Structure 1
């Protein structure tokens, strides 16, 4: 079964991801697909995470390369917050604190299950320099511990030509709020 999943992920990578890479060269100027593919083939376990990003509507794409480690950096690049990751609260603690009308999951749990990380505020702002994202939705971002300890969590969106950073109770959830992830390969 694992071999089958890896083969499916590999096929997916060679088609959808390669096509997205070619159609959006402005997101990764100076990078070549053959090198990205070689790195993916060296790290086949990352294919599953990329497949999960795609399956939940994230449309992952390469957005850069770490010059120190050589790792390629993938972000969710869907126009709106990934549809398969909306209507969720921030983390497990927030989920367990709800007495009624609990969401099905939390952003932090989903990200961990997928093998990815939520974008930071800095990463979210960098993503917005590559295109226009979250004009109708919002996305949870990694929240500093001192804010989380007080019950809050952070999210971002893009309105009026600007990135906005907001706060909300970590237990809140909305149909238009999900999360964007990052993966290093």
Structure 2
């Protein structure tokens, strides 16, 4: 009986070791596959190191952005949001080919999306309210495009929000006041981001 018990314990030990070894092998295979997939995803075809770094940063941002967008679209059952997500996903194609067109298109799409997403009553005022999310297209431009693109992103964001407010029935004076104050505030917040973009570019 003692001999059989010893064999049973030995077999169990071998089984545990085999399972542990298999788990380690599977983990290494998974990590290796994930690393290869990440390297493939970040493969940007350009010889310009600054451009490559910027576009790789954009490619790192896209997956969580799309995942969050899918959740929002599903939650809101919004067709425009789904269309915006599809266009953002398509922007990956020129980005991986080393072109800034994908980053520019994505910045302008997100700026336009601000006008779709926000209720004018929450920002036109009085008083005028500048939401932190209004900075998102500007920050994206600063990270992925040459510095002047940040100003373009700010202008596009204000234009989209002002157009939405005007079509929603806000008075011309309120829309004009928002446009003036919004432009001044966003430009003030854009300048440090432009400085960082120049510093790293």
Per the shorter chain, which TM-score range?
Answer: 0.3 to 0.5
Higher relative contact order (CA 8 A, sep 6+): 1
Which is helix-richer, 1 or 2? 2
* Structure index of larger Rg: 2
Query: Under a length normalisation based on structure 1, what TM-score does the superposition of the two structures give?
Result: 0.34
